Amino acid sequence: KSAIALPGVREPPAAPFGSRPCAPMAGAASIKMMITNLTEKALVSPDLSNARRRSLSLFRDTVRHVPWVKQTYQVKYSEKAMTKVVAALFRERAHMENVHEIDRAIKKGRMDLEEVLHVWQGDMHVNAFFDKYLEVKPMAKLQAGSFLDKFYSNVD
C-alpha cells in the first residue's frame, strides 16, 4: 500500500487469488514487433520472392518468441518441441505458389502472433494448439467379441 493516503483516491483492487498477473507484451522489442505486425499485415507482395521474404520474417518472429510464449502461457512442452511444431506448420505451406494465398496466410499468421503476444488468447488456447500436434493419443483397441467385429463379419 502507498505510504501516503490521498483523500478521495482509492487504490485499485487486488487481483483475485490464483489469477495470472497481466503480463506485458513480449520482451523489450514489443513496440518494434507491434510496428512490424502492423506494416506486414498491410503490405501486398508484388511477386513470389517478396512473399517468401515476408513469410521467412514471420517464421523468424514466431520462433524468436517461443521462449516467451512457453513462460507466459505455461506450456508443458519444451521450446525445441514447440519450435518443431512451428517449423512443421510453415513447411506444410511451402508448396504454395499463389502470391495472394501466401499474403493471406501471412496476414493470418501475423494476427495470430499479435494475439498471443498481447496475451489476448488464454492459456487453454495456446496449450490446446500445441496439444493438437504434440500429444500422443493411445488408440482404442476393439475387443474380440465387440459389436463392430460381428458387424464386419456379418454375424448376428
Closest CA to 83 of 106, 59, 101: 59
What's CA 2's distance to the chain center, in Å?
38
pLDDT in tens, 32-91: 666 676 666 667 778 899 999 999 999 999 999 999 999 999 999 999 999 999 999 999
pTM of the complete model: 0.66
State the DSSP H helix or E strand holding residue 144, giving kind and residue range, or none if neither.
none
What's the CA gap between 149 and 156, in Å, rounded?
11
